Amino acid sequence: MWDLLLTDCHAATMTGAEPYGAIRDAAIAIAGGRIAWVGAAKALPQHDARETRPLDGAWVTPGLIDCHTHLVFAGNRAREWELRAKGATYEDIARAGGGILSTVRATREASEDALVQSATGRARAMAHQGVTTLEIKSGYGLDLETESRMLRAAARVGEAAKIRISRSFLGAHALPPEYGDNRKAYVDLVCHEMIPAIAEAGLVDAVDAFCETIAFTPAETERVFAAARAHKLRVRLHAEQLSDQGGAALAAKYHALSADHLEHLSDDGIAALKQSGTVAVVLPCAFYFLRETRKPPIVALRSANVPIAVATDCNPGTSPTASPLMALNMACTLYGLTPEEAITGMTRHAARALGLEAEIGTLEANKSADLAIWAIADPAELAYWIGADLLRGRYLKGRSVHGTKP
Ligand code: DI6
Ligand code: FE
């Protein structure tokens, strides 16, 4: 007995040889929270279902997966952005206490409830655009207590917005002010105290770091990766965003799930990612907001067959957006991905970037029934419209969870 049978729909399964893995005039059966059957309606096996729901010719895709966000934070940096628009430099703003450390200050002062409340608003906006899985990083606490609070808040946001959450510990995001220039002492804290405590408390799925001239060196990043490995945690990396630090190769050496940003990725970096099977995550909204000009080497990544994922990078400093559909559009307009590549990058490849490819990311029998239902006539529309209201339904683990207000 199936729990639910979805009929009168088209399925973009995001797997198989057809563009978008499309099956026109499809049916999708759900049982026990999983996809029990998906295929052409005319091939539907004889089977009882407790409920049948016709979808008026809508398209069904895997629920969208935003695999790189900093969704939990307090305050925002609109004021700072306004000062920049009036000519203030990054240094002026930093001297006035702005930048990433202003978000750290605000986040340290915020209660767990306040963090949950502000992030849930953003998560609901994402849910309203078809997101069923969201990765959330810590990294605005930079002390064990606040990092842990952010990670607990992230789990609660998932409950409140009915979204599956994957959590990453990003203690190596910035050097906290109380450490002055004592970089080693802070990296020691991350490796010897924070990672063990956070792993022990079961607060994370992976460990991330920001490898950049303005953040942590490759040697410091490697120490963080080694500590993660000692606690059996997979790693991912903010790599090659503003300069080529060899971060992608370092990530590959530690079999990272993903290397993210990659505007300055070299040919050697591409070869390393290919060899380790690491997903290249591109974040075009941050590129846009920072008015960057150097783009990630999409053509070379494509010809090396490195899987490319697309995410929002939602954060108050460089990507103040809760719109995964806009990230799809920008992946196409700014980076030159095809709509099919972009949507694959927010479903199948994003699942792999989270190590969840056996569970989510495509419409296939036995995967979790995490679905998005869209009022569109062609899957490419998901990357085409800007600011449209396209979602008609959302299922998480087989349960209808649409209607949570944005
Ligand atoms: N790269 C980014 O673009 C963000 N973090 C990172 O590692 C910026 C975060 C911020 O400015 O608050
Ligand atoms: Fe980021």
Residue type, 224: V
Per-residue pLDDT of 162-212, as tens digits, reads: 999 999 999 999 999 999 999 999 999 999 999 999 999 999 999 999 999
> Closest by alpha carbon to 238, among 100, 63, 83, 65?
100
**Residues 126, 134 contacting (CB under 8 angstroms):** yes
Per-residue pLDDT of 310-358, as tens digits, reads: 999 999 999 999 999 999 999 999 999 999 999 999 999 999 999 999 9
User: Does ligand 1 have an atom closer than 6 angstroms to the CB of 239?
Assistant: no
Q: How many CB atoms lie within 10 A of CB 52?
A: 13
> Closest by alpha carbon to 158, among 145, 167, 149?
167
- The proportion of the chain whose per-residue pLDDT surpasses 90, expressed as a percent, equals 95
* Residue partners of 277: CB distance under 8 A and separation at least 6: 255
Strands of 371-374's sheet, edge to edge? 34-40, 22-31, 4-12, 52-62, 371-374, 391-396, 399-400
Q: Which atom of ligand 1 is least distant from the CA of 140?
A: 12
User: Does ligand 1 have an atom closer than 6 angstroms to the CB of 286?
Assistant: yes
User: Does ligand 1 have an atom closer than 6 angstroms to the CB of 210?
Assistant: yes
**Residues 178, 140 contacting (CB under 8 angstroms):** no
Query: How confident is the model over 98-102, as a mean pLDDT?
Result: 91
Q: What is the pLDDT of residue 406?
A: 39
Closest CA to ligand 1's atom 7: 210
What pTM was computed for the model? 0.97
Ligand positioned closest to the Cα atom of 100: 1
E strands present in 215-268: 234-239, 258-261
User: Does ligand 1 have an atom closer than 6 angstroms to the CB of 317?
Assistant: yes
* Residue partners of 220: CB distance under 8 A and separation at least 6: 172, 183, 187, 209
- 6 alpha carbon – ligand 1 mean position (Å): 41
Per-residue pLDDT of 60-93, as tens digits, reads: 999 999 999 999 999 999 999 999 899 988 778 8
How many helices and strands, by DSSP H and E, does the chain display?
16, 15
Ligand positioned closest to the Cα atom of 313: 2
Residue 275, token pair as written in the block: 């060899």
Q: Which atom of ligand 1 is least distant from the CA of 215?
A: 7
Closest CA to ligand 1's atom 11: 317
Per-residue pLDDT of 349-389, as tens digits, reads: 999 999 999 999 999 999 999 999 999 999 999 999 999 99
Q: What is the pLDDT of residue 280?
A: 98
Burial of 113 (0-12, 13-18, 19+ CB in 10 A): exposed
- 315 alpha carbon – ligand 1 mean position (Å): 7
Strands of 206-209's sheet, edge to edge? 64-66, 131-137, 164-172, 206-209, 234-239, 258-261, 279-282, 308-310
CA atoms of 261 and 280, how far apart (whole Å): 8
